[in-house]
Amino acid sequence: MKVGTDGVLLGAWTDTTGIQQILDIGTGTGLIALMLAQRSHAHIDAVEIDESACIQARENVERSPWSEHIQVYHNSIQDYVTTCPKRYDLLVSNPPFFENAYKAPDKARTLARHSDSLRQVDILQVGSQLLHDSGRLAVIYPPEPAKIFQEKAQAFGFFCNRKLCVNPTNISPTKRILMELGKTPLSYQESAIALSGISQVYTPEFIALIKEFYLKY
């Protein structure tokens, strides 16, 4: 899985204010890590379990202006957390979310799309162990998995402080929810954005969010 709207949304929306250390869980080919590097001066550790995706992520990082700020690790996040000496200001993940669904013959595609290797509880466990007390956790899910994730997060001591509901068009129901959680409850913020209007033209709000990452804008 390469560049997709979910990753672009999360990379553009996640708050990087005051962030010095970032962990990207399931970086794929490095999209979100590179976007966050473009938006901050933070050091980013990017973890990816799939070897071919990890190789592409490293190539993308090496060819970028931010190669000194990103380190890509070929590992499962479950193994990474057992030896990681760091604490992070921000954990970010565009996780797989299909459960008990048909799996494609392509193992790499299945790994990227299905939650077998990266469960919600895994992300929350990593967050509870590796985040500073003031750190933030940012994820993107469809509505139902997002609701379940938020419920599970409470058991780990996380509070949802910021949320963005994403609609394909102005008249479509919400298809994705971006959430930012922390260990301390803050003033809750919720907003919504439509990707395009009825005419299938991108909305000004969506263009404003992603324009720094597309040459045509």
Q: What is the pLDDT of residues 109-149, one digit of tens each?
A: 444 444 467 999 999 999 999 999 999 999 999 999 999 99
122 in a structural domain: yes
Label residue 106 by pLDDT band (50, 70, 90): very low
Tell me the mean pLDDT in the region 70-82: 97
| Residue 213, pLDDT above cutoff 60 | yes
What single letter denotes the amino acid at residue 57? A
Q: Is 214 exposed, middle or buried (0-12, 13-18, 19+ CB in 10 A)?
A: exposed
Cβ contacts of residue 183 below 8 Å, gap of 6+?
Answer: 131, 133, 134, 135, 157, 158, 159
Name the domain count of the chain: 1
Provide the residue range defining the domain that includes 74: 5-155
Neighbours of 18 (CB within 10 A): 11
What single letter denotes the amino acid at residue 51? E
Q: What does the pLDDT read at residue 42? A: 98
Which alpha helices (DSSP H) does 51-178 contain, by range? Answer: 51-62, 77-83, 107-113, 120-130, 143-155
144 in a structural domain: yes
142 in a structural domain: yes
Q: What does the pLDDT read at residue 111? A: 45
CATH of the domain at 92: 3.40.50.150
Neighbours of 189 (CB within 10 A): 11
27 in a structural domain: yes
Q: Which three-class secondary structure state does DSSP give residue 182? A: strand
Residue holding tokens 């899910």?
141
